[in-house]
Amino acid sequence: MTRFFKVCSTLTIFGAFCVSTPVHAADLQASLSDALAEIGPAQPADGMQYVTNTVAFVTPASCCEPSCECDEPSCGCEPSCGCEDPSCGCEAGCCGSGCCCVAGPCGCCPAAKKAPKPNPCAVSHKGVYYANDFSYLNKPCHKHCCLGDSLKQMSLGPCGQYGKLDIGGELRLRYHDEHGMGREAGNNVGFRDTDNNFLLTRLRLYANYKANDYLRFYVEGIYAGLNSEAAYLPRPIDENYGDLLNAFVDVKLTDCLTARYGRQELLYGAQRTVSPLDWANTRRTFEGAKLMYAKDDWKIDGFWTEFMPVDADDFDSPDDDQQFYGMYSTYTGLGTTTADIYYLGYKNETSNFDLHTAGLRMFGPMKSCDGCDRGWMYEVEGAYQGGFNAGTDQEAGFATGGIGKKLNAPWSPTVWVYYDYASGNPSAAVNNSNNAYNQLFPLAHKYLGFIDAVARQNVESPNMLITMKPTKKLSLLAWYYYFMSNQSGSTVPGVAIPSGAANQNTFSDHLGSELDLVAKYALKPRTDILLGYSHFWAGNKITAPAEDIDFFYAQYSLRF
């Protein structure tokens, strides 16, 4: 059988070399023995220490032991994992392969179609690039090769004795055509007659150096540029002409505990509370310390950081008046359910508030009454927010609940129905506490409409999401929202659109509705184009002269 061997030879005179090649074991051993016999014992040169020739044969267990991945034995090794056998001991002829045993006449659920394994190149880049995964390159039988892979898992020194280095990044271009979204000189109010067209450019470059199993250094820079008409008033998230997103060191303290210090992006859960905000041209980052614990079913992070405001023309510095800290944990020991439990503290001395948010998120597939997975899913998340805000007590919160279903139909549609709630203030005259929820540092663009006209505060919204995949490379999305204010006596703030007292009344709760349409096409595993169109129908809460909003955008992304 042809097997994969890694050969390391050390000769004082000739240096060190490593080769990796598929060969026959007996042939390789005989050839090397003959070669070493011809060379003879290495004679030390003047002042050189004699070292014996050594040859090490390493047979990776992951390659030449039987593979436990169905239908994909490694390096020609024969599978022996029972991939085709009915699981749980179902009787022959009862259900067929892939069944699961439950109570019932036959004792088995309908066999579920096995999802194809994704190309590891396509999923290697994560929401934060310091979490990128290029481990597939270390598998001797890997067949995938994508743009930038030659700069990944580079061994430093003979046989990698000085560690490994990854170098990579991203280039992204996005064109905006906005009507009614404000940001125009002399008319910086949303839902008015404004028009803007501009191009956002972003380049990210990173280096990830893992010295050994205990020490790691990571640095990532960004350039975020804007080309626009003179009348456009740039958003704070549009420009940053050269800066650092990440610059930190990791030290592994124990098998379960790692410490991190430096500038770092934060991403947790579904990003409703903490996110690096990838939609923004500049992204979002912090500076401080973090402890990361992982063992069995638990992952727990504790961190204390300072927010990093963006300064477009100068090097960014942490704002010691804005401290963000907390604990975020994930527990996977509840069967098919995953639970996120978190506490987040945010103290802003400039705005005079000190908030404490405690939340819970649970999600996963829902089994039917017979115990089978029939494509139903659920997600719930909520948080209570206390503390004080501008001299008054903070008593606020948010909640989200959703039920989804994977449909057995062409284009593999998945349908979700959600309800979003975030508390608002009735009025200072009625309530001496502050009930307006502060959304902290979320990926606001992902939720409550891609136009970014609605923040997670003083809002209620039933909404429906449909995703489809007509082809392997094409993904489609449609998301409809109906927006109401939680308290009609207060306004609903916008995210990227100036909105509030200047364009909303305090007697109606119908803010409006929005439809988002997105098509994404993968040109290559790490290259894609995205086209989006969104329309917002202004409701009775928007004051005259109210304009509906139209937003078109086109994006090109290249990761390497």
Note the pLDDT of residue 195: 97
Note the pLDDT of residue 80: 38
Domain total of the chain:
1
Strands 54-58 and 154-155: unpaired
Q: Over pLDDT 70: what percentage of the chain?
A: 78
Instruction: Give this prediction's pTM.
Output: 0.82
Beta carbons within 8 Å of 522's beta carbon, 6+ residues apart:
122, 473, 474, 528
Question: Per the structure block, which two tokens stand in for 552?
Answer: 């078109």
Query: Does some domain include residue 39?
Result: no
The stretch 180-186 carries a mean pLDDT of 94
Domain harbouring 319, CATH code: 2.40.160.100
Query: Does some domain include residue 70?
Result: no
Query: Does some domain include residue 38?
Result: no
Q: Over pLDDT 90: what percentage of the chain?
A: 73
Query: Does some domain include residue 84?
Result: no
pLDDT digits (tens, 9 = 90+) for 506-552: 999 999 999 999 999 999 999 999 999 999 999 999 999 999 999 99
Q: CA 112 to CA 88: how far, in whole Å? A: 15
pLDDT digits (tens, 9 = 90+) for 24-64: 444 445 554 554 454 454 444 443 333 333 333 333 333 33
pLDDT digits (tens, 9 = 90+) for 414-469: 999 999 999 999 865 456 789 999 999 999 999 999 999 999 999 999 999 999 99
Q: Residue 304: give the domain boundaries.
A: 121-559
Query: Does some domain include residue 288?
Result: yes
Note the pLDDT of residue 44: 42
Note the pLDDT of residue 118: 86
Q: CA 26 to CA 33: how far, in whole Å? A: 11
**Which of residues 165 and 428 earns the better pLDDT score?**
165
List 325's β-bridge partners, or say none.
304, 345
Query: Does some domain include residue 271?
Result: yes
Strands 15-23 and 474-484: unpaired
Taken in order 91, 93, 94, 96, the sign of the CA dihedral is: positive
The residue type of 405 is: K
Question: Per the structure block, which two tokens stand in for 235?
Answer: 């958003």
The stretch 328-347 carries a mean pLDDT of 97
Name the region of 440 (left: φ>0; alpha: ψ -120 to 50; beta: rest). left
How does DSSP assign 393-460, residue by residue? EB-EEEEEEEEEEE-SSTT--EEEEEEEEE-----TTT-SSB-PPP--B--GGGSS-TT----SSSEE
pLDDT at 101 over 50: no
Query: Does some domain include residue 101?
Result: no
Query: Does some domain include residue 354?
Result: yes
Q: CA 439 to CA 492: how far, in whole Å? A: 13
Question: Per the structure block, which two tokens stand in for 312?
Answer: 């477009």
Note the pLDDT of residue 110: 59
